[in-house]
Each structure stands twice: as C-alpha cells, then as structure tokens.
Structure 1
C-alpha cells in the first residue's frame, strides 16, 4: 500500500467500540436561504482558492453547496441536502475533490434515505466507473452537516460525537469527537464579534491509531470558529482538506481572527 493510500485509510478508520452513542442535535436556529463567499489560504497566508456558499430552503428541506476553486485549477465541490424538523437528518451528500491540489481525487455520493453509497473513479483513458452498494447508515450521519450542527449547539455544550461516512473502500464509518474549546474574537466588516471555537477530533483506536502515531500520520484536529448571536455563522475553519495534506484556513470573505 502506498504511503498516501495508507494515510487516507488511517484517517478514516476507527474502532467502533470506543465511541459512545451520539445524541441528535435539536434545531434551535432555522436555516434560511443565503449566499456567501469564502477565501482559502495556506499556512503562510497566501490565497489558494476562492469559495462560494449557497443555501436553498424548500419547506423543512435545506440544500447547501460549498465550492472552492483553486488557483492551480483544482476544485472542491460539496452539495448536501438535509431536513431540519426537530432534529437534523441527512438526505444526501455529494462531494467531489479533483485536481493537482488533491493527492487522491474523490467523487462520492451518499443517499441517506435509501442507504445507497456510490463511488465514481476515472481510469487512465478518461472512462468513468461507478460502484454502488447498500449500507446501514446511522441516524447521526453528518456528511456535509458538521458546520450546521455547530450553529445549533450552545457555547457551553458538552463534547459530543457525530458519524461521517468516508470515501474509502466504498464507504467507511468514522466517529468525530466535537468539543467547545474557547471563546475568541473574529473581525468581520469592521466589527469585533464573539465566536466559540470548536475542536473536531477524529477518533482512531487500537492498532490503527498506534500505527498512525508511529508513522506520523495522525490527522490533525480541525478547528472551527462559530460566530455567536441570534444568527450564528461559521466564520473560520482551519484543518486538512480531506483529512490529509497541508493545513488550510478557510474564512468568510472579510473575516480574520482578532488579535
């Protein structure tokens, strides 16, 4: 197995027995139509991609799309549909990563209602191959939804877990431990706004976690700054795209961390 392949497997593998059952997140902030722009930067502050976020609401069903277009021609495009009726339930998620920025391109679709998971690959001749299978998916599946969940938990919430389905081996369940860390200031449109900082930690256990630490392949935690108030918003995300590779800072256009 190539080192890059093992890195992805390590990130998306876990021992299920180490994770407690997740509690459903109640809807406290109804999501509405919106359109926002993002900027992605490298660790040295250089702009590497521009992002566009849109959200459409039909009844209790929300469809959101986040697209990053990189200066090197790469693209990260994710569309997620979910229901916000009492609690959040994923309907479908489609995530594409392709181009030179990504060591492993992905085209991965999850249909939560039916349990059908589809992976698409492109062969050396440009032919597209799709493989689908049925999986028993948990109610707390959060592909594309983690940011929305963070908008609906109070700053003093206890740590909680969510499940994601990773695009490895046709789909592999992963547990994420999500914890509030601190309160910091985010500067946006000339204002200093209070934000809660959340840490998202992938739980690796057993031999997989041990090997990851020994090889230096333990994925880094993702940090998320969520603006507080009547209409909370995700302002800054710092982490590795796809769970591996360089750390990227993704920010609302015009946002920066307070000094």
Structure 2
C-alpha cells in the first residue's frame, strides 16, 4: 500500500512541473556567520520526540549548515546544505537522510545544483544498496535545505514569493513553494520577549493535481515558520511535516515558547 501511495505522489509531482513559476532568488540582506544551536522536536501533543543540533560553518562566500535530529526511537533526520551568499543566495548542494521507525519511507537523497545531478540511495529487503542518479534542469532559486535562511533575508512585510524545491520522489521532482508572511506574534526566548513574523510555506501542486492529492490524502501540509525580527533575525520555531509527509512536528530553538 505504501509503495502505491509513493508512486502516486511521484506521478502527481511530475504532473505539476508544467505549472512552475519563474525563479525568484532572494537577495542577501543578512550575511550568515558561524553558528551553533540546539533544537528540540515535539509531537502535536507537546511530547519531546527528538533532540536536534544545528551548526553553520562559513568559508568566504560559501556556507555549510547541518541540522541533525536524533529521535527517542532511534530514528535520524540528518540534512547538510551548502550554499553561496554573494549578492543572492544560491544552492551548491544538499544531502538529506531520514531513517528509522519514525519515517515510513527512508530517504537518502543528494542534489548537486551546479551539475544538476540528483542521486537517490535506497536499500532493498536483502540489504543491497541501489543508487540512482539523473540529470535535471534546476532553477537558480532552488532552496533545498535552506528555506529558513531565505526567510531571514526577506522583509517581514514582503509580498508572496516562490522558490523551487526538489522533492526526493521518482529520482527527484521539482515543485514550487509559495511563501508569504501571515501575522506577527511574540516569542519568548532566554527570558526575553521577541517580535516574530510568522511565515506560511505552501507546496503548490496546482489545478486538478491538487484536487486529486487532497482526495487521496496526499496533499503536503503547509509549513509555518516563526522568524525573530531585528538586526540579527533567527528562526525560532518551525511547524510542519518532516520531508513533506507523516505527522506534524514542532521544531523549536531550545527555550523558545509562544506568548499565550
């Protein structure tokens, strides 16, 4: 049943390619610097399900960031992204691994933006590793792994905009993410109150594809991101599905909470 579902997802995403919007690269307003932070992931009922660690290394105009979540059930969500921040943000590479009982379908997916090569690694029931690579025409605004960084660099009152995302299905399928600021809220962190802009990220399938996806229960849910405003903005909270499917998870900076 799960293989049939993921096949349908791949078909739906393939059908959506023709509706892609033009590239909209984000300008660099806040240069990213070395960073090390801790995160925590919670289920919808507030139970801690994973502890996370975020690190960021900068070499010239190139930034490499890694976010890894270690789940209480032994699962791992590990994503490493490299991008450049020279005038505009541009993806260099992204490697995303999801494995363990929390994830119904393991992922080991790599995209090299410069060459357009996407590589999927899967393991069959006998333990044999299968590697599939394909070449794709990728847009300049591809944002795998660093959408949060882009949100740090758009005005809190920005108009809706789109970026590209290569979904790890069928060897890699390009979709569009529609992003807009929805409201402002107060977030408490380290005993201080901060104003935060809440962004909504909506995966666009479009037209009849979206209708079919909703009927089959395969429409990815919107992702909500709380970005602290100020001279050094920061992503405080992300609420959404990990990898675009499965249960909704809240990923927070350690110590962050909403004003009730």
What is the CA distance between 1:94 and its match in structure 2? Answer: 0.2
Checking the alignment, whether the CA contact within 8 Å between 1:8 and 1:243 is kept in structure 2 is no
In the alignment, what sits opposite 1:194? 195
Checking the alignment, whether the CA contact within 8 Å between 1:78 and 1:144 is kept in structure 2 is yes
Q: Does 2:53 match 1:60?
A: no
What is the CA distance between 1:258 and its match in structure 2? Answer: 1.3
- Judge which range, 69-78 or 127-136, deviates more: 127-136
Rounded Cα–Cα distance in structure 2 between residues aligned with 1:122 and 1:89: 31
Checking the alignment, whether the CA contact within 8 Å between 1:98 and 1:105 is kept in structure 2 is yes
Q: Secondary structure at the match of 2:210?
A: helix
Cα offsets for 1:76-97 (capped at 9, x unmatched): 0000000000000100000000
User: Alpha carbons of 1:13 and 1:254: their partners in 2 closer, same or farther (altered >3 Å)?
Assistant: farther
User: Would you say how many aligned residue pairs link Structure 1 and Structure 2?
Assistant: 259
Please give the TM-score of this superposition, normalised by the length of structure 2. 0.95
In the alignment, what sits opposite 1:233? 234
User: Alpha carbons of 1:41 and 1:14: their partners in 2 closer, same or farther (altered >3 Å)?
Assistant: farther
Checking the alignment, whether the CA contact within 8 Å between 1:10 and 1:218 is kept in structure 2 is no
Checking the alignment, whether the CA contact within 8 Å between 1:66 and 1:78 is kept in structure 2 is yes
Rounded Cα–Cα distance in structure 2 between residues aligned with 1:252 and 1:154: 22
What is the CA distance between 1:216 and its match in structure 2? Answer: 3.0
Q: Secondary structure at the match of 1:208?
A: helix
Rounded Cα–Cα distance in structure 2 between residues aligned with 1:112 and 1:63: 14
Aligned-residue RMSD, C-alpha: 1.5
Rounded Cα–Cα distance in structure 2 between residues aligned with 1:164 and 1:67: 20
What is the CA distance between 1:144 and its match in structure 2? Answer: 0.4
In the alignment, what sits opposite 1:154? 155
In the alignment, what sits opposite 2:115? 114
Q: Does 2:201 match 1:173?
A: no
Matching of residues 181-220 of structure 1 within 5 Å? 181-220=182-221
Q: In structure 1, list runs of 5 or more residues that go unmatched.
A: none
User: Alpha carbons of 1:182 and 1:189: their partners in 2 closer, same or farther (altered >3 Å)?
Assistant: same
What is the CA distance between 1:12 and its match in structure 2? Answer: 4.3
Checking the alignment, whether the CA contact within 8 Å between 2:9 and 2:218 is kept in structure 1 is no
Rounded Cα–Cα distance in structure 1 between residues aligned with 2:135 and 2:183: 40
Q: Secondary structure at the match of 2:32?
A: coil
Cα offsets for 1:174-193 (capped at 9, x unmatched): 00000100110001001110
Checking the alignment, whether the CA contact within 8 Å between 1:25 and 1:153 is kept in structure 2 is yes
What is the CA distance between 1:145 and its match in structure 2? Answer: 1.4
Matching of residues 99-110 of structure 1 within 5 Å? 99-110=100-111
Checking the alignment, whether the CA contact within 8 Å between 2:10 and 2:173 is kept in structure 1 is no
Rounded Cα–Cα distance in structure 1 between residues aligned with 2:25 and 2:203: 19
Q: In structure 2, list runs of 5 or more residues that go unmatched.
A: none
Q: Does 2:35 match 1:27?
A: no
Please give the TM-score of this superposition, normalised by the length of structure 1. 0.96
What is the CA distance between 1:220 and its match in structure 2? Answer: 1.2
Checking the alignment, whether the CA contact within 8 Å between 1:13 and 1:204 is kept in structure 2 is no
What is the CA distance between 1:207 and its match in structure 2? Answer: 2.8
Rounded Cα–Cα distance in structure 2 between residues aligned with 1:84 and 1:209: 34
